Chains A and B, each alone.
Chain A
Amino acid sequence: MKVAVLKGGRSLERSVSLRSGARVEDALGRLGHTVLPLEADGDLVKRLVSERPDVAFVAMHGMGGEDGTAQELLEILGVPFTGPGVAACVRCIDKVLAKHELRAAGIPTPDWFAFNETAFRELGAGDALAGLEERLGFPLVVKPSRGGSALGVKFAESPSDVPGALVSAFSYDDRVLLERFVEGRELAVSVLGGEPLPVVEATPHSGHSYDFEARYEIGRTSFVCPAQLGEADSSAVTEAALGAYETLGCSGFSRVDLILGEEGPQVLEVNAIPGLTDTSLLPQAAEAAGMSFEQLVEKILDLALAPASA
């Protein structure tokens, strides 16, 4: 089978994508497929049209690749592709939209307030901050609505930290959210074709949280998979993760990030196209389930080609 691997792009997670893509290409080669590495640049459509791959493996992260843009193009060109479709990507990339959907579906997610830049610049939303801070409590988390890999995510310990944190978050997106900080264990549930893989727990060695650096460097974060969870916790976490996956309309594969706090699991976000790098969580979860990386890649391809994959 001729498999195009879409990677790179202009997003800030470009280099993560290149690493995911390279690893997928290796696996595809070992599986005996014809691999067509495709940098997501100005020639992408031309090459997809001329090369006519049987299927596209989307190994892109962040804006442009994980937000429905690439998926929309692939739909137009009639090339089957891996991972969630356009609508799910659009919902997942936008944390504010995703949280609204989750809450409407009764899936627990931490309290939040969202603002766009106009609200502050033109409508004086700064005056509302004090009230919101009181409702969310400190520390609170400030994040850009779109974007991944914890880029631009800041912890505000006190009211004086909030404006600076907002300025940082607005560097990545024109909409940001202030979210209640939930103390607890950091868990990730990868879902493959509607089935949950073993839960991964991430514990950074140093620093405040599971930050961007710790995410991609071997040895910077400890991962335990399967996470040591009691039966009740385990099923609550899995249920929340599957609920989030379905609510946002994901298909193929995705990863749900949660915090397991005192009040049970809370969904932070759903990554439509989780990383497939050497330190990424989905491959670890698959391995814990007894799947090699090659088997994982093959399964993802099967799901993309299955009729009406759900």
Chain B
Amino acid sequence: MPEPPHRRRAHARSSDLERYAGLFAARTQVMRSSAMRDLMAVTARPEVISLAGGLPDTSTFPPQTFAAQMTRIAQESAAEALQYGPTEGFRETVDCIIEVMGAEGMLPDPEDVIVTTGGQQAIDLLCKTLVDPGDAVICEAPTYPGAIPVFCSYEAETIQVECDVDGMRIDRLEEVLERLDGEGRRPKFVYSVPTFQNPAGVTMSLERRRRLVELARSRELLVVEDNPYGLLRFGGEALPPLYQLDGGDFVIYIGTFSKILSPGIRLGWAVAPPPVMDKVVLGKQAADLCTSTLTQYFVREYFRDGNWREYVESLAEIYRSRRDAMVDALSRYFPSQATWTEPNGGLFIWATLPSYIDTGDLLAKALREDVAFVPGQAAYVDGSGRNSMRLNFSAGNEDEIREGIRRIGKVIGEQVELYGALTNSASSSAPAQAKESDMDSPGLPRPGVAETKRDGGDVLPFRKAGGA
């Protein structure tokens, strides 16, 4: 038997990195990774209640189902499941995808679908295919924090368009498009998470969806619809995806099994018109040849049972109860100056605090209380959003959520009180619940009407949705 190779510590390769600094591509200088990454490293401590992640609750997936399916794969198709697969993905996987999209009223041509390594790779491949350095890409403000590093690594100029409780403000989008027109530029695409948005939890209204799709048609503008959460609905009426409204001419669709089955299997997909798809396939070939065959086999087996929708519905029920617990705790423990969204699905609530609170610094204080969240700044390219935070309600149970919110509320309350003492203002950190009457009033902003900014800060026009 040959000696096993001497094991090198994984970090050995990272040593003396500065010697390589001169070799780095210029784009690495615009790759963002933030100070928050360092703070987030502290959130991994086991005693920390983390409302920071975006993790679906995989603990409810029956282990015996998992075991049975993997056993079946091992017994019936081990050789194939361990082999490379086609770059576009297996046709059987695409059939599962069409079933999932069908559940939301979409009927794509199987030829237009590519299976990707998570939805994240779909974002990356689309940028790789469409974006040259300096190109404009438009997204929501706030946007999915994980999209920002992708846009940055392709050196896009990322332009963010304000969101309110009805999603991206299309009037503002038009202003941006006009401005770009004036500069003789066209954005490469508009990236949107229209349903139960990450991070804001808001959903684009039907009227805005129609306007966005019309705008895309009339301007021949590509829209990238990222829809990981659409099926995780526990309230309100389902709205048609942009892809369905458009029919797939100008809307490129990104989907994923991460939130309806498992993020660990790294299976997502993109649906794009054939000319775009051809390039995406080339990009995928260069990136990783094909998506994991083994996990595609797993999905195929899993869908064979036909119970996938039941599982998604059971997740939605769990998340509804957790959302309720979080909203209840927010009104109990957050000061009256705070506002938050009340999503009808998805995984996140977005809370906005008085403008003088920097949630990056607040996180340091919160970590001393063993609780974590994502500071709002992570969802902006320009450093704004400093007084907001993303709160996840899918990963922890109701008790953890209540306790986590209580701890965050406590540190916010201390900051509000301190600010009051510093400015001699009558700032009260009284919990919001003390102002029951405000809560019950129909305080929703009318779509398209700008909210007054308080204190000149970066206050998003989100309001308590008053039981929406």
Contacts and interface: CB of A to CB of B under 8 A. Distances in A.
Interface stretch (B303-311, B320-328, B413-421, B459-467): B413-421
Given A12-B42, A167-B422, A217-B33, A151 B18 contact: no
A218 B14 CA distance: 12
A14 interface: yes
B361 A152 contact: yes
Contacts of A213: 34-35
B16 interface: yes
Given A121-B421, A213-B34, A278 B39 contact: no
Contact of A163 (B356, B358, B367, B411): B356
A193 to B, nearest CB: 23
A224 B417 CA distance: 44
A12 B38 contact: yes
A212 B356 contact: no
Contact of A120 (B37, B355, B362, B418): B418
A15 B33 CA distance: 13
Given A213-B35, A218-B21, A22 B15 contact: yes
A151 B411 CA distance: 18
Interface in B406-437: 411, 415, 417-419, 421-424
Instruction: Give the interface centre of B9, B35, B37 by most chain A CB atoms within 10 Å.
Output: B35
A167 B14 contact: no
Contacts of A162: 422
Q: How large is the interface on A (under 10, 10 to 19, 20 to 34, 35 or more residues)?
A: 35 or more
A14 B422 contact: no
A170 B418 contact: yes
Contacts of B72: none
Interface in B31-66: 33-35, 37-39, 41-42, 45
A12 B37 contact: no
A166 B422 contact: yes
A212 B362 contact: no
A231 B18 CA distance: 29
Interface in B317-365: 355-358, 361-362, 364-365
Nearest to A16: B38
Interface residues of B, number: 39
A171 interface: yes
B75 interface: no
A116 to B, nearest CB: 12
Nearest to A277: B17
Interface string A140-161: 0000000000011000000000
Contact of B39 (A12, A164, A283): A12
A27 B15 CA distance: 9
B452 interface: no
A117 interface: yes
A15 B38 contact: yes
A185 interface: no
Instruction: Give the interface centre of B12, B37, B38, B41 by most chain A CB atoms within 10 Å.
Output: B38
Contact of B29 (A151, A168, A170, A220): A220
Contacts of A16: 38
15 contacts: A12-B42, A22-B11, A26-B15, A120-B421, A126-B421, A126-B422, A151-B35, A163-B356, A168-B361, A172-B364, A205-B29, A213-B34, A216-B35, A218-B28, A293-B15
The 4 closest A-B pairs by CB, nearest first: A164-B356, A278-B17, A15-B41, A163-B422
Given A10-B42, A172-B361, 4 more contacts: A14-B38, A126-B422, A278-B14, A278-B16
Interface of A: 10-16, 18-19, 22-23, 25-27, 117, 120-121, 124, 126-127, 129, 151-152, 162-164, 166-172, 205, 211-213, 216-220, 278-279, 283-284, 293
